[in-house]
Structure 1
Amino acid sequence: EPKEILHRLLHVLIPRWPSPDENIKPELYGPTMIVFTLAAILIYQMKLASHSV
């Protein structure tokens, strides 16, 4: 119904506090994999350039 769609659109724009059920603990898998991937790319590029530390 148009009223329900309008109601949902208006409530999307209004921020609300998460309920206790929605309180999910963050995980660090993604940021950790980004760090390891960037380190691997850096090491690979250093080997290609024959750079020694």
Structure 2
Amino acid sequence: MLHYALVFLVIAVIAALFGFTGIAGAAAGMAKILFVIFLILAIIAFFRRAS
């Protein structure tokens, strides 16, 4: 999941450099969503493992 977030982040940066603001915004939004999902799953896994 974190891998896909980083891939979308790279796509957003490259698209922004070439001036594709719509694609860059969409890719950055997807990167944010995937990163938040990764954090939630990581926290759940940590607490399941700790108990």
> Could you say which structure has the higher helix fraction?
2
TM-score bracket, shorter-length normalisation? 0.3 to 0.5
Greater C-alpha Rg: 1
Calculate the TM-score normalised by the size of structure 1. 0.46
Higher relative contact order (CA 8 A, sep 6+): 2
